[in-house]
Structures are given as C-alpha cells and as structure tokens.
A and B are shown apart, each in its own frame.
Chain A
Amino acid sequence: MILVLIVLCLLFSMLTLKEQSPDSVSAADQIIKQIEESYTHDKIIITVGAFNKDSEPFAISLREKLKHKAYKNVTSITGIPRDLRLTLDSLKQANTKPAVIATSGDVVKWRIIELLPQFYPEFADCEIIAPETYLWPDFLKQSNLIAIVDRIVVIAVIAIGMTMVIITGGIDLSVGSLIAVSAVVGTVIMKALGGLDGSAWAVLVGFLAGILACGIIGGLGGFLVAKFKVPPFITTLGIMLMGRGLAFMITGGFSIYQVPKSLTWLGQGTTLSIPNTVILLLLLYLIAHIFMIHTRTGRHIYAVGGNEEAARLSGVHVKNILIFVYIISGIAAGIGGSIQASQLNTGTPNMGLMYELYVIAAVVVGGTSLSGGVGKILGTLIGVFVISVIQNGMNLLGMESYTQQVVLGLVILLAVLLDKVRGGNFLSIIISRGNKSI
C-alpha cells in the first residue's frame, strides 16, 4: 500500500508543477543588484508587498537594505492594491514619479501593476522589478503538506477505533454522528461555563464531557452486540440515526459558536512549530500500535476476530473484548469530534456527515480485512493518507466535485485490488475467499 501512496505523491507532484516566486533574502539581494546597476541614489523607489507573512517582510527588508545602500527616497507599501493606488495618486498629485517599483512575486499579478502605463500614463517609464520564478510542485509546498496532515487528523483518529472494531469482525457506522455529538455536547458545556470569556478549564471539561458521552454511547452499542448478538451493522446504524438526531436536538439545529478563545489551541495551535493535531495523532497511533502488538488485550482482539469460538474456548472474555472495542471506537470518535470543533471553532450538528464511510474505506485500504482477524494500526494510517492525498490532489488540480467522487471510489477499489494482487496469487484468493492469512 505504501507503493500506491508513493505513486500518488509522484503523480500529484508532477501534475501540480508550477512557477513559484521566491520571496526570500537571496531574491531581495538579486533585486538590489539590479537596482544598483541602473539607478542613482536619488531616484524614488517603491517596494511593494501583499498582506501576507512572506510578501510583507520581503518589501520591508528590501526597503531597509536599499536605505542601507544609501538610497534616500525609498518607501514601502504593504497591503492590498488599493494601498498602492493611494500612494501612486499622491505621487501623481505632487508631480513626482517613481523610477522603480520593486515587488514580491505575488504583487506582479496585481492589475494596477500590470496595467500601470494604462492607469498612470505619466508613470509609463517606471520599471517594475520582481524576483525570478522557479518551478516547484504545489503539492510539495510545505503549507500544502501541513494542510494534508491537518485534514486527516479527525479521520485518522477515528480510524484507530474502527480498525479495532473491524478486526473483531464488526463494523461501527455511528462514528460520523458521534463526531457531531461530541462537538455539540462539548461546545454547549463550554458555552454554559462562561461562553466567549470561558477559561481553558471550560474547554477541557467540555472536551472530556463530549468524549465521555461518546464512550458511553459506544459502550451501549458494544453491550447490545456482545450480550444480545445484535448484528453490529444494525446496532450502529440505529446509534448513527439517534446520535445525529440528538446532536440536532441539543442545539435546536443551530451552530454553537459562543465558545472560549482557547478552544482553537488543539486544532489550530502549534508546539515547537509542529501543529498540535499532528503531535496528538502520532501519540495516539504510537499508543494504539504498541497496545495492539504488545498487550494481551490487543492480541485478544485479533483472536476474537480470527475465530470467536476458538478464542472463547481458550479463555478470552469475548464479550468484554467486544464491549471494549466499541467503547474505544466511541472514544476515538469523541476525540475526533473535539478536534473538529477546535478546528472550526464551533459545534455544528451536521459535522461528520458520511465520515463513517471514509473511515471504513481508509481502514480497508490500509489492509484490514472486513471479515476480521487481520489488520494493522500503521496500515490504517497509510490508508488514511492514501485517501486524503487523493482528495487534496484532486482539489489542487481543480477537478469537478462529481468527478472527484467517481475517482475516489475507483481509487479505493483499485488500491484494495492492488494490495490483494501484490500479496499473493490473485486467483487463489478469489477461490479461497475464507482465507484470512493474506
């Protein structure tokens, strides 16, 4: 499955190859050299940067460096095209004109720069200098890679619980609704505990309450499955409907947005410049991986999925294990809901719509068998990546929404098929469908 992921990354890297403009120190030096070659120190120079964290400092540092080189009439403008227009208007009124407009890469595209001779005929001989561009894929930009990880966090966390449930041979359709339950319960409590001015404690209590609620609901489902042998599909389908309805009932159908500022810490904050969500994700996966491989309960989960009867006969508490995995799945969905609420800074009852299907797809793409007994936590992580890389790549390419769904469905099928083919003789797998040691 890693192969699929690599091929996908390669594919999107090539497809999103684009001219990028460097707004770095070396680019600024290059511009200064150009200016020094052709202009005397008394000329009026304007440095322009757009209102973002690369472009703005670029324009300002360019100004400082030029001043350092004894250029006297340097001004810098940072902001939106309108700010540049106002400056140019005042220059025009004062009957002076700039000799050079030095800009960052994104400013060159402003029409006021592009069509400068048209808007200001008197400035027609003003030279516009911008850094030279280079080729680099959009897909591999640092900001995009962070965006990919950021978007998978919710699905990835829930997929941990789902992997365990599916390994026992079950399924949990309720996780999408539980996202909404957790987010809504959490934010309603935060609202009650002080609203916009609430403390970090209010946030923590809200989160824990939301997660606890989901854990209890999950456990209830697990109880029905274990004790009364209600098929997991039906049990969790019922919980899915109830959870969604409950989320709408609690909020009356509206979004809860009167939440403390500190709510965004988890979903949007960073620690040592790594997003908190990523740290949480890695931590949870590490724990889950160790748990599944090295603890007795973890091995029992495999045993239950492999052969329930055999597991029971060899002393595994099958019922407890089943209840346990559904509780974990509920808790994972609860954590997912908390993260989502934090990312969006609201609790909305229609959060997590259809997420159960994405999560199940990710788990299966990651190599877990729907018939139980087989699967790896780390495989699931790769499965989640495969799905989110596809979604991200298609968005970058601007593929139409309708096409996106078709492609996503196809890729999921192909990915699973490919894994089967690679794992052994394709025909023998089709013939012996019961074979679980793929």
Chain B
Amino acid sequence: MRKKNYININIITISIWVLFVLSACNSKSEFKGKIGMTCMDLTNPFFKLIGNIMQAEAAKFGYEVIALSGNLDPARQNNQLSDFVAQGYDAIFLNPVDSKSAGEGVKKAYAAGIPVFTFDVQVTDKEASKLIFSHIGSDNYQGGRLAGESMIQITGDKGKIAILSFPEVTSCILRVKGFRDVLRENNSRLQIVTELSGKGNRNDGYSVTTDILQAHSDIIGIFAINDPSALGAYAAVQKAGKLDQITIVGFDASPAGKQAVFEKKIYDSPQQFPRKMAIGTVRAFIDYLEGKDLLKNNFIPCAHYYYQDSVDDSSRVKEQW
C-alpha cells in the first residue's frame, strides 16, 4: 500500500513539473493565429518542403502553420480537418488524400467559418468544390505535354514506348493525358505498347519495368509520371543491359530527379515548383484577409528540365527542389 502511494505521488509530481515546463515553452510572444495544413504524405520530400516554406512564409505575417500528414488515409485526414475546426483555426491549407472524401471536411470547415485553400490536388466533390476559396497547383496536363514533346524529340518519333502511371492520383492521370494528347495531335509514330501503374515509387517502378521488358524487349522509351518511379525504371533497364536502347522521361525535377538528369539517367523531368505553390497558398490567405478578390484556380506551368539546365543548377548541388 505504501509503495503504491509513493509511486502515485511520484507520477503526479513529475506530471506537474512537465506541465509547468511545457506550458512555459508554450507561452510564445504575440502572434496572430494558427493555420492548419494537412497533406497526403509528409514523408514525401515534396510535401515536406511545401510545409516548411508555408511555415516560414506565414510566420512573416504572424501565423503559425500546423503541418500534419494524412498518411494516405482519407479518414485520418478528415479527423485532422475536424481537429482544425474544433480549434477554430484561422484557415486550412488542404492537399486532399482523396479528392472526393475530403469534401465532408471542407463542408464542416466552411460551416464553422474557416476558409479552406487547396494546393496541388483539387477537391472534386461537387458541393464542396464551390466552398474552396482558392486553389493553387501545377499545370499537370501541360507538364504531361512537355514530357510528350521530349519523348518525340529524343526517340526520333518512331518506335514502341511504355508508360508508368499512377491512376490513384488525379494529378498523375492528368500527366498521362497530356502526354498522350501531344502524341496524338502530332500524329506521332510512337506506339504506346503498355501503361501500367508504377505506384509512384522506386520499388514498384523497378518491378513493373522488369515485367514490361520481359513482354516488350524492343521498347525505346519509358515515360514515368514521377522521378521515383522513373529511377526505378532506370534500375530495371540497367539490369537488363538496355541503357543504350531505352530513354527515360520522368516528372517533378525533384532533387533526386535533377541529379539523375545531370547523370543522364533521365532525359527530361518536367519541373514542378513547390516553392511557388507554398508561397502562393499563403499569399491567397493574406489576400483573403485583406479583402481582395481571389483567383479561384491558379495553375503554375511546368518547365522542361534537361541536362543543360542541371549543369549550373545550384539547387541540384544543394539537393533542393
């Protein structure tokens, strides 16, 4: 009995100490408010960077950005949106895990008077999309067209090619659509023999490409919808000893992608601009607070990223986006 009390008292004393220390840390100097941010997956460097830049940019205006990861789970993200609403945050920056499920959270936020701004991926729920104050994202369709142009150019517009897609994600569907449209509009003699999901990561890109090479050993080009799957494809092509035969076009110009372009593993990686996206989202919120008219949709065009671009690119050396 005595021992039990002793332990209980200890626990309580320690807890109180922790409380005081933590609450001392918590009482920060004057700030305007908090913004809730939730994205698909914070372990993805693309979103990590966006989160960091949003935090830095919002801090200039006295706002703190709470960046959370939806971990590719729509229900988890919905809970996070509920938490933001319960907190009465001043705004929500949303990158939906699922373009449709996110609608419920958006409606909840709107009902509570919290403006929602989306970035990278749009909300497609009919009612909820009207409640979004502004969206900013890459022009993925146009980026896909750039990839198509590069593919036509490097292959001499003749032969068989394969696509590594990621049909679960809207932005990746648009990239493939842009790519196919360019080929069709130019009456390209390139023949797309297969389109399989590389799931946007290196492992699946590798194994799917290995399988493709078994079935179509004579392909001359691969378009992968992002750099990780493009690098997976590269590893598979290398293992099959077909580096001279096959050209790879990626997407994103991520740090790893830039390096791969520099090492001539990837021919082109149409570039996205996460910095612009992050700053643009914060800017939209500030414009909102100032009562300005907001652009409902704001698409940032992608740009080619070739070997020449990578040579003197300091961001590549510093491993930045």
B243 is an interface residue with CB less than 8 A from chain A: no
Interface residues in A306-334 by Cβ distance below 8 A to B read none
A51 is an interface residue with CB less than 8 A from chain B: yes
* Cα of A11 to Cα of B286 in the assembled complex, Å: 33
Residues of B within 8 A of A268 (CB): 104
- Pairs A-B, 7 closest by C-beta atoms: A52-B113, A85-B291, A398-B66, A401-B69, A81-B291, A111-B289, A147-B86
Residues of B within 8 A of A345 (CB): 101, 103-104
Interface residues in A4-21 by Cβ distance below 8 A to B read 7, 10-11, 14-15, 17
Stretch in B3-11, B154-162, B201-209, B223-231 touching the partner: B3-11
* Cα of A264 to Cα of B83 in the assembled complex, Å: 19
B215 is an interface residue with CB less than 8 A from chain A: no
Residues of A within 8 A of B289 (CB): 81, 109-112
| Residues of B in contact with A, size category | 35 or more
| Residues of A in contact with B, size category | 35 or more
Residues of B within 8 A of A156 (CB): none
* Cα of A247 to Cα of B176 in the assembled complex, Å: 26
* Cα of A93 to Cα of B190 in the assembled complex, Å: 62
* Cα of A54 to Cα of B100 in the assembled complex, Å: 28
Q: Is the beta-carbon distance between B113 and A55 smaller than 8 angstroms?
A: yes
Q: Is the beta-carbon distance between B87 and A344 smaller than 8 angstroms?
A: no
A115 is an interface residue with CB less than 8 A from chain B: yes
* Cα of A391 to Cα of B69 in the assembled complex, Å: 13
Also in contact, A344 and B111, with CB within 8 A (given A80-B288, A119-B290, A143-B85): no
Mask: chain B, 111-136; 1 = CB below 8 Å from A; 0 = not? 11111000000000100000001000
User: Which one of A51, A111, A348, A353 has the greatest number of beta carbons of chain B within 10 Å?
Assistant: A111
Residues of B within 8 A of A402 (CB): 42-43
Also in contact, A106 and B75, with CB within 8 A (given A15-B26, A82-B292, A253-B167): no
Chain A-chain B contacts (Cβ-Cβ < 8 Å), number: 165
* Cα of A56 to Cα of B316 in the assembled complex, Å: 50
Which residue of chain A has its CB nearest to the CB of B42?
A401
Give, as a whole number of angstroms, the nearest-CB distance from B239 to chain A. 29
A413 is an interface residue with CB less than 8 A from chain B: no
Also in contact, A7 and B15, with CB within 8 A (given A17-B23, A253-B168, A392-B83): yes
Q: Which chain A residues have a beta carbon within 8 Å of chain B's beta carbons? A: 3, 7, 10-11, 14-15, 17, 50-56, 80-86, 106, 109-112, 115, 119, 138, 141, 143-144, 146-147, 150-151, 154, 253, 255, 257, 264, 268, 340, 343-346, 348, 350-354, 391-392, 395-398, 400-402, 418, 421-422, 425
Give, as a whole number of angstroms, the nearest-CB distance from A135 to chain B. 11
Which residue of chain B has its CB nearest to the CB of A85?
B291
B57 is an interface residue with CB less than 8 A from chain A: no
Interface residues in B9-55 by Cβ distance below 8 A to A read 11-12, 15, 18-19, 22-23, 26, 32-34, 42-43
Q: Which chain B residues have a beta carbon within 8 Å of chain A's beta carbons? A: 3-4, 7-8, 11-12, 15, 18-19, 22-23, 26, 32-34, 42-43, 61, 64, 66-69, 71-75, 78-80, 82-83, 85-88, 90, 98, 100-101, 103-104, 110-115, 125, 133, 167-168, 286, 288-294
Q: Is the beta-carbon distance between A11 and B100 smaller than 8 angstroms?
A: no
Which residue of chain A has its CB nearest to the CB of B23?
A14
Q: Is the beta-carbon distance between B68 and A147 smaller than 8 angstroms?
A: no
* Cα of A390 to Cα of B212 in the assembled complex, Å: 46
Q: Is the beta-carbon distance between A344 and B75 smaller than 8 angstroms?
A: yes
* Cα of A354 to Cα of B72 in the assembled complex, Å: 11
Residues of B within 8 A of A396 (CB): 83, 87
Q: Is the beta-carbon distance between A422 and B23 smaller than 8 angstroms?
A: no
Q: Is the beta-carbon distance between A109 and B72 smaller than 8 angstroms?
A: no
Known: A119-B290, A344-B74, A418-B11. 10 other contacts (CB 8 A): A3-B8, A85-B290, A109-B289, A111-B290, A143-B112, A255-B98, A346-B100, A351-B75, A400-B42, A402-B42
